[in-house]
Amino acid sequence: MATLFALIVVALVTALSKFQVITNMNVTFFLQTLVPLFGVALIILTILIQVFKLSSLQRGTKQLSSAIFGILQSSPLYITALAIPLAIGLLALFIPSFQFNLGSNIQAAIWFVLFGLSIDSLLMLICKVNQVLNPEELVSAISKHGTKHVDLDKSSELLEAIDSLTEISMKSLHQNSIVTSRDAVDQIRELTQKFLQECRRKKFTIDSSGTPINIIDKVNYVLVYIFQDLGLIYSHALNNGYEPPASEIILTAGKIALYGARTDPAYGIVPLHHLGKFALEARRAGIPETVLKSSITLVEVGKSILNDPEVLQQDTKELLLTLIGRLEELTKDNFRQDRSQKISGLTAPLQELRTALKQERFANRDDITVALVDLERVLGEFDALQAVMSGMPKMPGLEPQPGEDVMESEDKSKI
């Protein structure tokens, strides 16, 4: 805008000079006196903006993330906006106007445009600082920076971006900013999805000695790191009673499990393990809504796996066994917490998964048959438990209490 205004002034001055309203004396005064003064003013103004910027960024670091400085320093627009006023200010201060072999009017016009450009650059500098202090803009900028490093060989830079998003999410929860926290978690999901999509393109990488190595362990290391960060956010949300962010992480874990399974079933195991872990943590924190969503998410992930052509092209045995193991663990924990529940209700998710596994189209698949046998074992244990509980006499004071093991109750009856 200031550059446009300068151009208008130049056009106006050029028109007035024809009528000799602007004299050579006026132009000389502008070049020899005002230009150096404007140069000094530009330098001082740029320094003052930098001082106020540092103060604002320090506050932003405490409230959001220490990644603010890195995002600014890596921005070409910010560096350009900082360099232009400094360069023009120094040029106006140390290079006398009479050294240019140009007419006075042309020199004056050039300086007008340069000063207009400097003012626009300073405004851009202020806008860029304010932009990174905006939580939504900062989350977006960190995500864009992380997207540049989704390659497995640049995983350290990717994990730095995820650490920054984790920091923002946790600090936002501390400030009761649920929307910003969930936005940061969603960006972690997107980065993980892009990372897994990139891993699909290659099965091997080269180590420092030049030897090809399988990437499964390296990818799983990155996934474990990501879920450790998500676990920090999840625990913080549970401890402070924030159910929506906790449920968001449950859904995120389920989505990442599917992303991983589509790339390689081995990459779906870590997300499923942590999904089950999150469910148990929610149970112990006394948030039944999150526990229910965890159970539903596990079943839906299992059904999605069985309906996904990309996943079914590969061996799914370990993936399905992990899923069944997490459901078994969660169902048993639910029973321990409340033994008044009906076994049929507790095992409903397992029954739903069994129905999906028993489809006729899977009859000749060994991996799914193995998973079905394991699921039948789990359901058989609960059927046996139901039979034992049905045959136990209900005597006052001997009913299993919440948190008490069935075997302990049986020991009481013997006494």
Over residues 197-232, the pLDDT tens digits come to 888 766 555 555 555 567 888 889 999 999 999 999
Coil, strand or helix at 184:
helix
Q: Identify the CA nearest to 196 among candidates 181, 216, 182.
A: 216
Cα separation, 261 vs 170, in Å, equals 28
- Write out the two tokens for 270: 């870590």
Whole-number pLDDT of residue 21: 40
Whole-number pLDDT of residue 410: 44
Burial letters 14-50, b for 16+ CB under 10 A, else e: eeebeeeebeeeebeebbeeebbebbebbbeebeebe
pLDDT in tens, 221-273: 999 999 999 999 999 999 888 888 999 999 999 999 999 999 899 999 999 99
Asked if 353 contacts 303 with a C-beta cutoff of 8 angstroms, the reply is: yes
- Cα torsion 256, 257, 258, 264 to 10°: value is 110
Confidence at 135, pLDDT banded by 50, 70, 90: confident
Whole-number pLDDT of residue 148: 87
pLDDT in tens, 70-129: 877 777 888 888 888 888 888 887 765 545 555 566 777 777 788 888 888 888 888 888
Q: What is the pTM of this model?
A: 0.77
Residue 19 CA, chain-centre distance (Å), reads: 64
Cα separation, 215 vs 285, in Å, equals 36
Lowest model confidence (mean pLDDT) among 103-112, 286-295, 403-412: 403-412
C-alpha pair distances (Å), 139 with each of 65, 161, 182, 374: 10, 10, 11, 43
Asked if 58 contacts 94 with a C-beta cutoff of 8 angstroms, the reply is: no
Cα separation, 296 vs 309, in Å, equals 22
- Give the Cα-Cα-Cα angle 410, 411, 415 (nearest 5 degrees): 120
- In 207-311, the DSSP E strands lie at 212-214
Top pLDDT among 323 and 56 is at: 323
- Asked if the model's pLDDT at residue 325 lies above 60, the reply is yes
